[in-house]
Structure 1
Amino acid sequence: MNTYIVSTMSDSGKTAIVSALLRILSTRGFHVTPFKAQNMSLNSYPSIEGGEIALAQAMQAYVAGLMPSIYYNPILIKPMLSDKAEYIILGKPRAQLSFNDYLNNNLIRRLAVNAVKASIRKLTMEYDMVIGEGAGSAYEPNLASRDLANFRPAEWLNANVFVVLDIDRGGSFIQGLGLMRSLPPRWRRLVKGFIINKFRGDEKLLNTAIKWLEERTGKPVLGVLPYIDDLWLWPEDSMDLKPIGNGPLDIALIAYPYISNFNDVYPLILEDDVTVRIVRSPKELGEPHLVILPGSKNVVASLEWMRRVGLDKALMRIKGSTVILGICGGFQAMSKVLSDPHGLEAGVPGNYDGLGLVNVNTVYGVKKIVSLSKAVGLRDELEGVEVKGYEIHRGIPQYIGDEPLVMIKERNGRPVQQVDGVFREKDLVIGITLHDSLGDPNFRSFVLNIAREIAGLPKRNSQGLTSIDLLMSHIDKFSSIVKERLDIDFMINDR
């Protein structure tokens, strides 16, 4: 029986619970697949078809033993400006619209609906079970008639629906009752029960409230999951941005607006000598051993913010004494000039000043490169060494004085020859387009050992563990808890 997990709010733990269910059921021998009809996230990932999907559904694919596919997340919405987003349907960028235009553009809406239905048909034919995930609040009166994220795709899947209630933020039992009383009868019948998530304390204290909710809704509570503070799964949005570690190597992550794919820093959890701080001002920056400029969906807007708060000048002050690493959009931000003739990055066509940390310009084309990629190092300790990662970008580096750091040799299994990255040894500035490059032990050792030398710490080689290894260790830990505390057989049986 297909299963759909929804909630009354964002960041309630839906993604983690779906991931655990996928892991548990796949280890039981079921051929299961993730599915999220519509996701809004700046964190994305290449699919096996070469399209773009939400990072969370790529993660869920891996934990289910699958490669990411466009059919696991047929609609991805990537916010660009306060009133506009990029709409990616079945892996391809289709439009840049306001949300109101998206709701009322008949052509795009028809394309979106057809993509969701086609994905459901394909997945239900090819898999034993689909484990779906809703988005945000499961029922909003102003959006219900055009819902493409929650109960409508669950209905098309003929799925059992379970509602996650985030007890950590309070009001969960009232929210569960309110949702059930708000739903139209045909959707109310799909709901088979509740899951209490993020509880701290003695579960016996909930007995009265659980009985109260079950009596008023006629739906059982299937279990209570504890609050887990150190669960590092791939993030859906910036609400998941949090510090890492408590080691002597001081690392500052610049958290500018439109930050994307900041899971690039998660593999640093594997290094016990690091501390990663979240920085949003020059005062918070201080003098770290390493600064990371992460990806950004709107590099120009992120640059404007850095100038407004003074982080551009703060970075220039520590250049040469602190390693500065730019990844994808962060690498582009370090350019001298960013040329956006079509306005697809900034929203308005034009040439924009970068930080000028490298002798490279960035030119944004119409075509978006979306690929699982392999590169080989061209210099220093990386010479001849393979570096794996993934690419999601329109910006192409144009070299005007600096030498490339790597050569991208393969995209989605096809050979290419594309120079990339930079290493200005004198200024301690490193740039690379490959997301998840820090998840590659070779590149992680290269960057961290330069920073360790500055910090007076001994160099070391990473243990060969990748970002996927880290993911699997954490999902296995969470899955063991879910297996003990949820009635999974009830969830997957026909009702």
Structure 2
Amino acid sequence: MSIKTAVNLYIVSTMSDSGKTAIVSALLRVLSRRSLHVTPFKAQNMSLNSYPSIEGGEIALAQAMQAYVAGLMPSVHHNPILIKPMTSDRAEYIILGKPRAQLSFNEYLNDDAIRHLAINAVKSSIRRLKDEFDLVVGEGAGSAYEPNLASRDLANFRPAEWLDAGVFVVLDIDRGGSFIQGLGLIKSLPPGWRKLVKGFIINKFRGDEKLLSTAIKWLEKKTGKPVLGVLPYVDDLWLWPEDSMDLRPIGNGPLNIALIAYPYISNFNDVYPLILEDDVTVRIVRDPRELGDPHLIILPGSKNVVASLDWMRRTGMDKELARIRGSAVILGICGGFQAMGKLLSDPYGVEAGIPGDYRGLGFVDTNTIYGIDKVVSLSRAVGLRGELENVGIRGYEIHRGVPQYAGDEPLIMITERNGKTTKQLDGVLREKELIVGITLHDSLGDPNFRSFVLNMARELAGLPRRNSSASSSIELLLSQVDRLASIIEDKLDIDFMVNDN
């Protein structure tokens, strides 16, 4: 690739879920292969799925994924503002990795102190990334331009302007109206931001590209902006998810696994390593009538465990889980583990929004105490019981809740957090009742833990025990991105994008 003067890139769209995250990931992979020192960047992300950064802060899972794709460790500067919804009208605002406030969106937009902090965080991250890397590949959020939010934009054109980036607009043709949306965006933008747009990328096309030639010429003539390529619809790609819109079933094997998709579900990428197991079927269960009689039930993480428990009681999911208790393996991960306990004590209201004590499902004899400080770490642990005794396990932690044991014994000892030695008892195992709890996210990405849980379910199902693939969740991720990178390298004019035209 011949580069005269490399320019930073900013990928935006006219809507959410158009494929921006996947395209940025693939571009990072392609450009890093071409000996460019590249980095991801998303100024502001709203997501319940998060990940620890190398500094010990919290960023969106999608930007952590993009960092690994670029050959980097995730940093708070890859995503300086993370918004994690707590209720329908309030969210936790995490700036440069640290929780700063719990506000409504209107309060966030109008609170001068928090806005000043957020703007400075975005600008300082941009300065740092520009200094340290050959090229920054940024990603916008949602719709790139909304007239009611434009003056307070911290996600799309304003950070692209600060980054001196060329902006490329992704048009999701699968959902229709993409050419009109592209024209509408260009016509709506203020002249200064309109100049930043260098072209369009048509995404998720099914069929013969020749059918689009007339429409492409129309859009280019109307806007004066080129179409850089048409990307096909890829429906079997498994990248780390941005939000619950990415929830989908896995596999078609005899091992029946039910993932309970309650409100505020978070970090459900925990189940993605099950893609490596050819004998599993993972179903997404949103209604107790859909539960059936699985061999394994997974209670995933939740940003608001109290609200998720309330939903389970309102819908009758708690009764269905109680019915099947003892006849299916039940695995609770982080918030799911907390939900299985007897009591959740939230004296500061940091989990539920309102201080109080809340009743869990009562499946295990543990209580959870929520503190002000949040544990955010890449962690290592060692098993204490059963087949996991003295077995090393890796994962990550993002939680305020700490387990208190009121009768059950811990499953593991967390021995390391962000490279520092620690000793924290965690998890639970009730072998006779087939119940497993653990706080470590991505524990199913660890082959030892994955084999342990799945073999419990296989024995129940009358299936042969087996050792899990040795591939890690990151190795699985890279293999998926490589597939998309090959497509993008073939279909997209990347040389045009990165050269200062």
TM-score normalised to structure 2 length: 0.99
Structure-2 separation of matches of 1:462 and 1:210: 47
1: CA distance between counterparts of 2:209 and 2:336? 45
Say whether residues 1:355 and 2:361 are aligned partners: yes
Question: Does 2:26 match 1:20?
Answer: yes
Which amino acid in 2 is paired with 1:131?
V
Which residue among 327, 335, 359 is the counterpart of 2:333? 327
Residue 469 of structure 1, CA deviation? 1.1
Offset at residue 280 of structure 1 (A): 1.2
**Deviation for aligned residue 1:295:** 0.3
Runs of 4+ in 1 over 6 A off after TM superposition: none
Q: Distance in 1 between matches of 2:97 and 2:312?
A: 31
Q: In 1, Cα distance between the equivalents of 2:446 and 2:246?
A: 22
Taking the aligned partners of 1:469 and 1:452, their CA distance within structure 2 comes to 25
Letter in 2 for 1:450: M
Measured after TM superposition, the shift of residue 466 of structure 1 is 1.1
Instruction: From 219, 224, 241, give the equivalent of 1:218.
Output: 224
Deviation at 1:18, TM superposition (A): 0.3
State how 1:85-100 maps to structure 2 within 5 Å. 85-100=91-106
Aligned-partner Cα distance in 2 for 1:463–1:19: 25
The amino acid of 2:473's aligned partner reads: S
User: In the TM superposition, what is the alpha-carbon distance from 1:475 to its structure 2 partner?
Assistant: 0.2
Question: Alignment partner of 2:294: what SS?
Answer: coil
Corresponding letter in the other structure for 1:148: L
Shift of 1:426: 1.3
CA distance in 1, matches of 2:471, 2:297: 22
- SS for the counterpart of 1:245 is coil
Structure 2 partner of 1:254: 260
1:283 is displaced (CA, Å) by 1.1
Mapped to 1, the partners of 2:56 and 2:500 lie a distance apart of 35
- What letter matches 1:23 in structure 2? R
Give the secondary structure class of the aligned counterpart of 2:482: helix
CA distance in 1, matches of 2:334, 2:174: 35
The equivalent of 1:381 in structure 2 is 387
Matched, 1:393 2:399: yes
Which residue does 1:443 correspond to in 2? 449
Q: Distance in 1 between matches of 2:335 and 2:212?
A: 46
* Aligned residue type for 2:256: D
* Residue 475 (structure 1) aligned with residue 481 (structure 2): yes
Shift of 1:166: 0.2
Give the structure 1 partner of residue 4 of structure 2: none
Q: Do structure 1's residue 207 and structure 2's residue 213 form an aligned pair?
A: yes
Report % sequence identity: 80
One-letter amino acid of the counterpart of residue 8, structure 2: N
Which of 466, 472, 488 aligns to 1:466? It is 472
Deviation at 1:242, TM superposition (A): 0.3
CA deviation map 1:435-457 (0-9, x unaligned)? 00000000000000000000000
Aligned equivalents of 2:47, 2:332: Cα separation in 1 = 21
Q: Deviations over 1:405-435 (max 9, x none)?
A: 0000000000000000000111101000000
Deviation per CA, 1:56-85, whole angstroms, max 9, x where unpaired?
000000000000000000000000011100
- The one-letter amino acid paired with 2:217 is K
Q: Does 1:409 align with 2:415?
A: yes
Structure 2 matches for 1:286-365, cutoff 5 A? 286-365=292-371
Match of 1:80 among 64, 86, 98: 86
* AA aligned opposite 1:294: P
Instruction: State the secondary structure of the residue aligned to 1:301.
Output: helix
| Correspondence for 1:109 | 115
* Pairwise CA distance, 1:42: 0.2
Q: 1:42 aligns with which of 44, 48, 60?
A: 48
Per-residue Cα deviation, 1:295-318 (whole angstroms, up to 9, x for no partner): 000000000000011010111111
1:441-492 per-position Cα deviation (integer Å, ceiling 9, x unaligned): 0000000000000000000001211111110110000100000000000000
Corresponding position of 1:159: 165
Per-residue deviation, residues 200-257 of structure 1 (Å, max 9, x unmatched): 0111100000000000000000000000110000000000000000000000000000
1:281 positional shift: 1.5
Distance 2:327 2:126 in 1: 53
CA distance in 1, matches of 2:167, 2:288: 47
Distance in 2 between residues matched to 1:349 and 1:399, nearest whole Å: 22
- The answer for the alignment partner of 1:121 in structure 2 is 127
Cα shift at 1:321: 0.7
Q: Distance in 1 between matches of 2:419 and 2:389?
A: 22
Query: What's the C-alpha RMSD, in Å, of the aligned pairs?
Result: 0.4
Give, in whole Å, the separation in 1 of the partners of 2:417 and 2:134.
31
Match for 2:388: what amino acid?
Answer: L
Counterpart amino acid of 2:179?
A: F
Residue of structure 1 equivalent to 2:283: 277
Determine whether 1:487 maps to 2:483.
no
SS in 2 for 1:372: strand
How many pairs align? 495
Q: Deviations over 1:171-209 (max 9, x none)?
A: 000000000000000000000000000000111100000
